[in-house]
Chains A and B, each alone.
Chain A
């Protein structure tokens, strides 16, 4: 079952101006449910732009984009927001937790935005997710009171709060030391294997890319390689 389908997606900036710049040149990509895919490529190759398009934070200039079989091209602003909230989770390079809220409240936030008011069920869901990323003891700590690796784990739990079909991670371990980065990757992998959540992970780190099932390489806005990883490293210890 397809979680994501991109068909001939183009993205340009400064359209109609002398400095028009095409960043993505006809991207075709399909992610099946439960795939754990790395998106690699040099800086400026269009990885983040592609992630923003897939995450419905931006719109393509041409081409079609389907999330769980639903074409997104004709959707209005409110429908896009609803679909993004329901089907897509984000993990950014920097955690972007809301500093005014505790770890538990940060995880609850996407559900609260969708439902409008807090309830016991969303509290329980958030607590379970924090437990899953090993942060139960820090559930009532403010985002500023925990370490970088812990903050990124809270961000992962938050990305999973709405039980999304697809999680987009933009260099999720880029700001972390090796041990913390491995820990974060272990969590992502564990969730993928137990929940069959589809992951698309942008990384510069070949070591971490080797831990993914599939590696897609983007160069100058084009997919130059899309191959299954024959030698997947299942954990940081090898």
Chain B
């Protein structure tokens, strides 16, 4: 502790105070640059989290489907004619063979959080003169809500779906003129139909999903879609949604089933997100570089201005290391102070964003979480960048020949 850099700290801070205007200007520059970086980072992660959250509101990270039915060409037999063209088969709604066993097996896969069977297929919602095409999803509420938080999206009524109950989206309710407690008929292409009572309305924050999806009990869907005892898909929730494709590959390896991750089914979204991340990273990189160059150039000027002082410090016994640390501390200190200012600016911008960035209907455009860890990371990174930026001028100061410096 005795050799702790008090000398360097004292000299560094006095030098900074001596050139106060210069110090304040570079802190302001670092602050503005840092503020832009922190604000953009928070905005981007907020935007991504929002899109991911909205997508995963109504879509499981992994969906397992029965294998496609394929038309096999006849085996070549001597003297027989072979068709030259093989037509692909139409795919009918089928159950996954041994779905209970497969479900249990998937539940044991590492990083899988919840598994649920569903029966999903097309149907028509009929009420009075209104007829809407819908996707019927039959669920086991208890396990389904662990995969898709439908229960949290209920805006009216309840979610404990029984055999004669149905939960529909707010848009479909509007189209059918139905409300909680009303009944309507659900019909399917296999000729089955059922009159069900609306017990709840949900809002996924996505017009398409609110218009199209209806939820009934698993057994009701099995009857309506002629899949008694079956499950047309198994939906899986994983710990890290971004690891879904890796886990999907693991599951796929053990079966001949179709295993789709949301990353593959939303490939366009991920391409757009990657492009956005790249653009954002480039902008932050260049802003960071500009800030670092700003710190370096101010310190280069400072070294030139303080040549005599450096020479005299060396003559009175200050070592090269001490002189080096004086300037490294200055670089780190202006960067830290600038990042504190930048964090405060970014905080203000983010609060303003929360208030001002709204959809035409007055709802929030998207939620930007203000994470304290982001500010801590920004401050630590800025300080390290400041020290790195100061390295060249600091080495130059340390290498100054005291005789030349004093004579300069």
- Are the CB atoms of A113 and B3 closer together than 8 Å? no
Q: Does A41 contact B (CB under 8 A)?
A: no
Q: Does A55 contact B (CB under 8 A)?
A: yes
- Are the CB atoms of B6 and A109 closer together than 8 Å? no
Q: Does A19 contact B (CB under 8 A)?
A: no
- Are the CB atoms of A57 and B7 closer together than 8 Å? no
- Are the CB atoms of B2 and A116 closer together than 8 Å? yes
Nearest A residue to B15 by beta-carbon distance?
A100
- Are the CB atoms of B406 and A112 closer together than 8 Å? no
Which residues on B sit within 8 Å (CB–CB) of A162?
317
- Are the CB atoms of A112 and B10 closer together than 8 Å? yes
Q: Given A57-B402, A116-B6, verify A98-B320 contact (CB < 8 Å).
A: no
- Are the CB atoms of A81 and B314 closer together than 8 Å? yes
Q: How far is the CA of A86 from the CA of B18 in the complex (A)?
A: 28
Which residues on B sit within 8 Å (CB–CB) of A118?
6, 10
Contact with A along B298-337 (1 / 0, CB 8 A): 0000000000110111111111101000000000000000
Contact with A along B234-253 (1 / 0, CB 8 A): 00000000000000000000
Q: How far is the CA of A192 from the CA of B15 in the complex (A)?
A: 34
Interface size class of B (residues with CB under 8 A): 20 to 34
Partner of A110, one of B14, B15, B317, B319: B317
Q: Does B282 contact A (CB under 8 A)?
A: no
Q: Does B17 contact A (CB under 8 A)?
A: yes
Q: Does A78 contact B (CB under 8 A)?
A: yes
Nearest B residue to A118 by beta-carbon distance?
B6
> Distance (Å) between the CB of A96 and the closest chain B CB?
4
Q: Given A100-B18, A118-B10, verify A113-B315 contact (CB < 8 Å).
A: no
Within 8 A of A (CB), among B256-300: none
- Are the CB atoms of A77 and B320 closer together than 8 Å? yes
Partner of B317, one of A58, A86, A99, A117: A86
- Are the CB atoms of A98 and B4 closer together than 8 Å? no
Which residues on B sit within 8 Å (CB–CB) of A90?
315-316
Most chain A C-beta atoms within 10 Å of own C-beta, residue among B316, B322, B402: B316
> Distance (Å) between the CB of B314 and the closest chain A CB?
7
Within 8 A of A (CB), among B197-213: none
Which residues on B sit within 8 Å (CB–CB) of A115?
2
Which residues on A sit within 8 Å (CB–CB) of B15?
100
Nearest B residue to A168 by beta-carbon distance?
B315
Which residues on A sit within 8 Å (CB–CB) of B18?
99-100
Q: How far is the CA of A77 from the CA of B322 in the complex (A)?
A: 13
- Are the CB atoms of A113 and B10 closer together than 8 Å? no
Interface size class of A (residues with CB under 8 A): 20 to 34
> Distance (Å) between the CB of A173 and the closest chain B CB?
18
Within 8 A of B (CB), among A111-159: 112-118, 158
Q: Does B367 contact A (CB under 8 A)?
A: no
Within 8 A of B (CB), among A21-67: 52, 55, 57-58
- Are the CB atoms of B6 and A85 closer together than 8 Å? no
- Are the CB atoms of B317 and A81 closer together than 8 Å? yes
Most chain A C-beta atoms within 10 Å of own C-beta, residue among B5, B317, B406: B317
Q: Given A52-B403, A118-B10, verify A98-B317 contact (CB < 8 Å).
A: no
Q: How far is the CA of A161 from the CA of B317 in the complex (A)?
A: 11
Within 8 A of A (CB), among B1-34: 2-7, 10, 14-15, 17-18
Q: Given A57-B403, A118-B6, verify A113-B14 contact (CB < 8 Å).
A: no
Which residues on A sit within 8 Å (CB–CB) of B14?
98, 100-101
Which residues on A sit within 8 Å (CB–CB) of B320?
77, 81
- Are the CB atoms of B4 and A116 closer together than 8 Å? yes
- Are the CB atoms of A96 and B312 closer together than 8 Å? yes
Which residues on B sit within 8 Å (CB–CB) of A99?
18
Which residues on B sit within 8 Å (CB–CB) of A110?
316-317
Q: Given A81-B320, A92-B406, A100-B14, verify A55-B2 contact (CB < 8 Å).
A: no
Q: How far is the CA of A138 from the CA of B168 in the complex (A)?
A: 86
> Distance (Å) between the CB of B329 and the closest chain A CB?
14
Nearest A residue to B317 by beta-carbon distance?
A85
Which residues on B sit within 8 Å (CB–CB) of A55?
315
Q: How far is the CA of A78 from the CA of B17 in the complex (A)?
A: 29
Partner of A117, one of B6, B314, B318: B6
Q: How far is the CA of A58 from the CA of B309 in the complex (A)?
A: 18
Nearest A residue to B16 by beta-carbon distance?
A100
> Distance (Å) between the CB of B208 and the closest chain A CB?
67
Q: Does A82 contact B (CB under 8 A)?
A: yes
Which residues on A sit within 8 Å (CB–CB) of B402?
57
Q: B residues touching A (Cβ–Cβ < 8 Å)?
A: 2-7, 10, 14-15, 17-18, 308-309, 311-320, 322, 402-403, 406
Known: A78-B319, A98-B312. 13 other contacts (CB 8 A): A57-B314, A57-B403, A58-B403, A81-B317, A82-B317, A85-B318, A96-B311, A98-B14, A109-B313, A112-B10, A116-B3, A118-B6, A162-B317
Q: Could you list some 21 contacts between A and B, CB below 8 A?
A: A57-B315, A58-B403, A78-B319, A81-B317, A81-B318, A81-B319, A84-B315, A90-B315, A90-B316, A96-B311, A99-B18, A101-B14, A109-B316, A112-B10, A113-B313, A113-B319, A116-B5, A117-B2, A117-B4, A117-B6, A158-B316
